[in-house]
A and B are shown apart, each in its own frame.
Chain A
Amino acid sequence: MVDERFEPKIVAFLCNWCSYRAADLAGTARIKYEPNVRMIRVMCSGRVDPTFVLKAFALGADGVMIAGCHPGECHYLEQNYKAMRRFNMLKHTLKAMGVEEGRIRLQWASAAEGVQLASAINEMVDQVRELGPLNWAQNWHEDGEVEAAIQRIEEEHAEVMEVPA
């Protein structure tokens, strides 16, 4: 095995109207950015069900990006705000499950912001590369059963998971 640089796999969910078009623009403008991000188009960042993110991590992603229109510019008026709220909850949940904050990122990118999207991607790739592989899928499998893993998470993160009365 040669000494290879760790190349993370990052899944990005892009809204159809702003961010996917920002990716189109980055392409049209030939802006080079890290190849580690693979994109999935959804109609709106509000469509991103937190389970999509969990699924991506479970299938071996090292990071997940959710990109949508800027607040106030959503094609569906205000659904990116809902994405924002879910993102905050999700970040908290993932932290409790041992996933570092740097592995998930919410990025606003308007259809005119190809450059901004590309640099956000580069930044995130660097960040996740720094964090190293997540190995989530493997961790789950190692323990043999999901029950045990959940048990472990609960013990390790009891403090964060405590619900205030």
Chain B
Amino acid sequence: MSEKVGVYICHCGSNIAGVVDVEDVAKFAGEQIENVAVSRDYKFMCSSLGQELIEEDIRKEGLTRVVVAACSPHLHEKTFRRACANAGLNPYLCHMTSIREQVSWVIEDKAVATEKAKAMVAAAVKRVELHEELEPSEVPVNPNTLVVGGGITGIQAAIELADAGYPVYLVEREPSIGGHMAQFDKTFPTLDCAACILTPKMSDVGSHPNIHLLSYSEVEDISGYVGNFHVRIRKKARYVDEEACTGCGICIEKCPKKVVDDVFEAGMGYRKSIYRPFPQAVPNWPVIDTESCTYFERGKCKACEIFCPTEAIDFEQQDSYIDIDVGNVILATGYDLFDARKVPQYGYGRLANVFTSLEFERMCNASGPTEGKIVLRDGITEPKSVAIIHCVGSRDENHNPYCSSICCMSALKFGHLVMEKTDAEVTSFYIDVRTSQKGYEEFYNRLLEEGMHFVRGKAAEITDAARQPGEEGKLIVQAEDTLLGKQRRVPVDMVILMSALEPKADAKDVGLQFGISCSMEGWFTERHPKLDPVATMTDGIFVAGVAQGPKDIPASVAQGAAAAARVQGMITAGTVEIEPIVATIHEEICSGCKICNNLCPFNAIEFLEDKEVSYVNAALCKGCGTCVAACPAQAISGAHFNNDQIFAEIGGILYDAIGGNGAKAPAKSKEPAPA
């Protein structure tokens, strides 16, 4: 019984038809490929008229297979599968071949392009003939959600879901949620106090009945699949009993050991060995830092234990593990700040009065180490002049090529704060000032009016070597003013480096753990950069906030909410369809050699001791096909990518080589192929 194949060649306007002779390809398919019952070309196959064409042919001509030669299947495979399903044909009996991305857009020579398109259509027809009817399976979606990262993005996502009535596990690595935003003083462009808008949300999280907050915890392991993930969380020992602790803070007061706080205060201030990162921390239970604690160092002290009114201190506490089941995961793991030491010509770490943007944020903060006073490193002197250097580690081929997107606005904010709190002159050294969101350009204009100076040029060097009168004891910023076309030396008291946002140091490991990919830089990759910005290639795993790429607070909040909305959609639907592309082991052929058992990274293959054969758990199988390729007995078949289908495709794609010996050019083109 032979199949009746319908072949549809899309013009894609002139995208394909401009290079490929579509009529010739359609004619070739209709006349020279076996079992092709209908072969047509059409202006836009993906349009509703194009789809109707296929549906009509299925109904009237009784097509049993469909091939669409158009764009990449990643774009429109679903569209054409749906069209087939509408006409009563199993959607998996349709195959797409990409004659736009792989032919018309990458080949200039028309004849050569047409030949390649023919080979691809031939391959598609040979393959589709062997396609089998498949049915996607449905699995229930667990209504619990895991949110990783308790910065503003994760907080927003957690609150949205919890308010909708669904349980959320919010996992945060640090002792408190709040993330980078908790460190900031003001937020651009409205100059709201960051704490005033963030802390109410933080306490919401802390008290919400639907949010299980797991601070000072990390995801240890995740397994399962969309709708049904099993997660193991490691709760790091705080050495404080959370049940007993009231958060009174007496222990912190009594602790005799003070250390530099490198995390929250960015090295600008001190904290005790038993500490909470900041007064409004959520949860407000303190944590003992075992590396600096005198008791852990020398076995003596226990001041905190002695003074604790509720006997909450527990030096024997161990890390504990919590196992949870969730349906979806939102990754909002944030960013690290670029280490300004990597740009030695800016002198950070060597020249005392060169500050990073985060240090300056802490300095501006009323509850920060200087109580909001803008002073030099000595702690008393107010600067009379301040330089702000943009793009430190971003838009720089030596470090990160991308734009960190927030630094221009932060720099403007800093300029405003300096001028508001001191009499200092502020000069900004920029490559371009980028203020593209709502209200941002207005803020830039405001700063221009307030008298902030702007020098268009990337600072070449910051030095304390005076060369001219007036430079003694100052930091000199050397830059080419590209608007004047002149070298300039600007002596200042203080320099602020606008450091780049970088992916978290362990972003790639986290990506691997959750089975999602990262860009070259290490930002999590979204499913589609424009049309699907928070989903990932792994179903059930969503990304939001700066972990996906540099962005400001409004955009992070929007993504957090968007990810929550996507998860809510999954929960409301109740079930999720799983692609039927899975492996199956044929018991009667399996010899029980177990070669496949250890190949599967998803533990989908188990060995049935009673029958002495291996077995694939379809719910766990992701369909990669590695076991299929490895089975020495060919007892495993991979649905939709089985050996026969791929062999047929190879045969089709080399249709013009069989019998011939491949020595001829694919086309009778006179021009040599473009190099």
* B is bound to A: yes
Give me the interface of A with B, judged by CB distance under 8 Å. Answer: 4-9, 11, 17-18, 20-21, 23-24, 26-28, 30-36, 38-44, 46-52, 55-56, 59-62, 69, 72-73, 75-79, 82, 86, 110-112, 118, 122, 133-135, 137-138
Residue of B nearest to A56 (CB): B650
User: How far does the Cβ of B537 sit from chain A's closest Cβ, in whole Å?
Assistant: 6
| A42-B641, A49-B643 known; A79-B601 Cβ under 8 A | yes
Q: How far is the CA of A52 from the CA of B72 in the complex (A)?
A: 23
Give 7 pairs: A residue, B residue, CB < 8 Å, sorted on A.
A5-B672, A23-B101, A24-B98, A27-B102, A27-B105, A49-B643, A135-B661
| A27-B102, A35-B112, A38-B116 known; A75-B643 Cβ under 8 A | no
| A79-B624, A133-B662 known; A35-B98 Cβ under 8 A | no
**Cβ-defined contact, B650 with A47, below 8 A:** no
Report chain A residues within 8 Å CB of B123: 38, 40
User: How far does the Cβ of A105 sit from chain B's closest Cβ, in whole Å?
Assistant: 17
**Cβ-defined contact, B650 with A30, below 8 A:** no
Quick one: which of B100, B120, B517, B630 contacts A110, CB cutoff 8 A?
B517
**Cβ-defined contact, A32 with B107, below 8 A:** yes
Residue of B nearest to A8 (CB): B662
Residue of B nearest to A134 (CB): B662
**Cβ-defined contact, B537 with A4, below 8 A:** no
What DSSP secondary structure best describes chain A's contact surface?
A: loop
**Cβ-defined contact, B657 with A60, below 8 A:** yes
Report chain B residues within 8 Å CB of A20: 72, 74
Quick one: which of A9, A11, A47 contacts B629, CB cutoff 8 A?
A47
**Which residues of B from 617 to 675 have beta carbons under 8 Å from A?**
622-626, 628-630, 638, 641, 643, 646-647, 649-651, 653-654, 657-666, 672-675
Q: How far is the CA of A23 from the CA of B282 in the complex (A)?
A: 47
| A56-B650, A72-B508 known; A47-B120 Cβ under 8 A | no
Residue of A nearest to B599 (CB): A82
Residue of B nearest to A79 (CB): B626
User: How far does the Cβ of A164 sit from chain B's closest Cβ, in whole Å?
Assistant: 22
**Cβ-defined contact, B515 with A77, below 8 A:** yes
User: How far does the Cβ of A71 sit from chain B's closest Cβ, in whole Å?
Assistant: 11
**Cβ-defined contact, A23 with B102, below 8 A:** yes
**Cβ-defined contact, A43 with B601, below 8 A:** no
**Cβ-defined contact, B629 with A49, below 8 A:** yes
Q: A38-B654, A40-B123 are in contact. List 11 more A-B contacts (CB 8 A).
A: A7-B666, A7-B673, A27-B100, A28-B105, A30-B105, A35-B673, A36-B666, A41-B73, A46-B625, A49-B628, A133-B662
Q: Choose, from B52-60, B317-325, B457-465, B518-526, the stretch at the interface.
A: B518-526
Q: How far is the CA of A36 from the CA of B662 in the complex (A)?
A: 11
Q: How far is the CA of A70 from the CA of B359 in the complex (A)?
A: 37
**Which residues of B from 240 to 288 have beta carbons under 8 Å from A?**
none
| A4-B665, A11-B654, A47-B628 known; A60-B660 Cβ under 8 A | yes
Report chain A residues within 8 Å CB of B638: 43, 47
| A36-B673, A40-B123, A49-B643 known; A9-B666 Cβ under 8 A | yes
Quick one: which of A32, A86, A137 contacts B674, CB cutoff 8 A?
A32
Residue of A nearest to B625 (CB): A47
Inter-chain residue pair count (beta carbon < 8 A): 182
**Cβ-defined contact, B664 with A7, below 8 A:** yes
Q: Is B512 an interface residue (CB 8 A)?
A: yes
Q: How far is the CA of A42 from the CA of B628 in the complex (A)?
A: 12
Quick one: which of A30, A40, A43, A86 contacts B624, CB cutoff 8 A?
A43
Report chain B residues within 8 Å CB of A17: 517, 537
Per-position contact with A for B386-405: 1 when CB-CB < 8 Å, else 0?
A: 00000000000000000000
User: How far does the Cβ of B106 sit from chain A's closest Cβ, in whole Å?
Assistant: 6
Quick one: which of B100, B108, B517, B666 contacts A75, CB cutoff 8 A?
B517
| A35-B116, A43-B581 known; A122-B675 Cβ under 8 A | yes
Q: How far is the CA of A79 from the CA of B625 in the complex (A)?
A: 9
Quick one: which of B106, B519, B625 contacts A30, CB cutoff 8 A?
B106
**Cβ-defined contact, B672 with A9, below 8 A:** no
Residue of B nearest to A125 (CB): B673
User: How far does the Cβ of A61 sit from chain B's closest Cβ, in whole Å?
Assistant: 6
**Cβ-defined contact, A76 with B626, below 8 A:** yes
Q: Is B606 an interface residue (CB 8 A)?
A: no
Quick one: which of B106, B581, B649 contacts A31, CB cutoff 8 A?
B106
**Cβ-defined contact, B626 with A46, below 8 A:** yes
Q: Is B119 an interface residue (CB 8 A)?
A: yes
**Cβ-defined contact, B660 with A38, below 8 A:** no
**Cβ-defined contact, A59 with B663, below 8 A:** no
Q: How far is the CA of A54 from the CA of B665 in the complex (A)?
A: 22
Q: How far is the CA of A35 from the CA of B622 in the complex (A)?
A: 32
**Which residues of B from 73 to 92 have beta carbons under 8 Å from A?**
73-74
Report chain A residues within 8 Å CB of B628: 47, 49
> Top 7 A-B pairs ranked by shortest CB distance?
A27-B101, A60-B657, A47-B625, A46-B626, A7-B665, A44-B624, A76-B624
Q: Is B171 an interface residue (CB 8 A)?
A: no
**Cβ-defined contact, A52 with B662, below 8 A:** no
Quick one: which of B101, B512, B624 contacts A24, CB cutoff 8 A?
B101
**Cβ-defined contact, B654 with A28, below 8 A:** no
**Cβ-defined contact, B102 with A44, below 8 A:** no
